[in-house]
Amino acid sequence: MNIIFFGTPDFAVPSLERLLSHPAFNVLAVVTQPDKRRGRGSQLIPSPVKAIAQSHNLPLYQPKSVKKDEATLDYLKNTQADAFVVVAYGQILSQAILDLPRLGCVNAHGSILPRYRGAAPIQWSLYHGEAETGITTMLMDAGMDTGPMLLEARTPIALLDNFEDLAARLAHIGADLLPETLLQLDQRAIQPMTQDESQATYAPLIKKDNYWLDWSRSAIALHNQIRGFFPSCSATFRDKAIKIVATAPLSETFGIQLPSQLSAIAQAWSNPSEAAQPGEVVGILKGEGAIVQTGDGVLLLRTVQLTGKRPQSGWDFANGTRLEVGEVFGKGG
DSSP notation for 230-252: TT--EEEETTEEEEEEEEEEEST
Confidence category of residue 42, pLDDT binned at 50, 70, 90: confident
CATH number of 2-199: 3.40.50.170
163-186 and 13-21 helices cross at what angle (nearest 10)?
40
Task: For the chain, give every residue range classified as CATH 3.10.25.10.
Answer: 208-330
pLDDT digits (tens, 9 = 90+) for 96-150: 999 999 999 999 999 999 999 999 999 999 999 999 999 999 999 999 999 999 9
pTM: 0.94
Binding residues, by number, are: 111-114
Q: Which pLDDT belongs to residue 230?
A: 98
- H/E element, 268: helix 260-268
Task: For the chain, give every residue range classified as CATH 3.40.50.170.
Answer: 2-199
Cα(261)–Cα(287) distance, rounded to whole angstroms? 10
Cα(215)–Cα(238) distance, rounded to whole angstroms? 15
- Of 253 and 52, the one with more pLDDT: 52
Q: How confident is the prediction for the chain on average, in pLDDT?
A: 95
**Would you say domain 208-330 falls under CATH 3.40.50.620?**
no
Burial status of residue 153 (CB atoms within 10 A of its CB: 0-12, 13-18, 19 or more): middle
Confidence category of residue 271, pLDDT binned at 50, 70, 90: low
Residue 273 has pLDDT above 70, yes or no: no
Q: Do 47 and 68 touch, CB atoms closer than 8 A?
A: no
Burial status of residue 18 (CB atoms within 10 A of its CB: 0-12, 13-18, 19 or more): middle
For residue 181, the one-letter residue type is T
Binding residues for (6S)-5,6,7,8-tetrahydrofolate, by number, are: 111-114
pLDDT digits (tens, 9 = 90+) for 206-248: 999 999 999 999 999 999 999 999 999 999 999 999 999 999 9
Residue 333 has pLDDT above 70, yes or no: yes
